Amino acid sequence: MATMKEAVDDFLAQQRIAVTGVSRSGSQPANSIFNKLRDAGIQVFPTNPLTDEVEGVPCYPNLKAIPGGVDAVMIATPPAAADGIVRECAELGIKRVWMHQSIDGGSYSASAEAFCKENGITVIPAGCPMMYCDPVDFGHKCMRWIFNLTGRLPKTVD
């Protein structure tokens, strides 16, 4: 079992991260996360089965289609899609998953979290990389503080 900080640091240390749930319009949290990770120097791969390009880069219909694979997956889709994504992660041997969860329910799925734990995938079930990836903006600093204070961010993850 890792602390939340250890799991976040490990996730953000990966050089190839897929972000699921990016939008053609750029209006979804996934797009902001995609851009933040890309700006941090991480090689990021957007996935959306309904488009070939997002934010000026090739977009992939699923994780299997990403050339060379990825080391970690950021899930920023509706919760119903999370189960299929974590199953694909298991098939591909991806051992790091983060389910975006902000003020609302976000992408969190209890069944996807349980599947990850049962299949040896480290899962961060809450929060957002934008709360941790430097430079952190004021709004995300506040959310991180409030989520820690209220117990919305776990102390440890499996």
Positive or negative, the CA dihedral 111, 63, 100, 29 is negative
Least confident of 3-12, 87-96, 97-106: 97-106
Whether residue 157 lies inside any domain: the answer is no
Number of domains the chain is built from? 1
| C-alpha dihedral sign at 111, 113, 114, 118 | positive
Tell me how far apart the alpha carbons of residues 127 and 24 are, in angstroms, rounded to a whole number: 23
pLDDT the model gives residue 27: 74
Per-residue pLDDT of 32-91, as tens digits, reads 999 999 999 999 999 999 999 998 899 999 999 999 999 999 999 999 999 999 999 999
pTM for the full predicted model: 0.94
- Reported as a pLDDT band with limits 50, 70 and 90, residue 28 is confident
Q: What is the pLDDT of residue 102?
A: 77
Q: Is residue 93 included in any domain, yes or no?
A: yes
Answer whether residue 82 is part of any domain. yes
Answer yes or no: is 143 within a domain. yes
Other CB atoms within 10 A of residue 15 CB? 11
CA distance linking residue 125 with residue 134, whole number of Å: 20
> In 46-80, which positions are buried (b, 16+ CB within 10 angstroms) versus exposed (e)?
bbbeebeebbeeebbeebeebeeebbbbbbbbebe
116 found inside a domain: yes
Q: How far from each other are the two terminal CA atoms of the chain, in whole angstroms?
A: 5
CATH number (domain holding residue 49): 3.40.50.720
In a domain, 155, yes or no: no
pLDDT band at 103 (very low <50, low <70, confident <90, very high): confident
Categorize the per-residue pLDDT at 111 as very low, low, confident or very high, splitting at 50, 70 and 90: very high
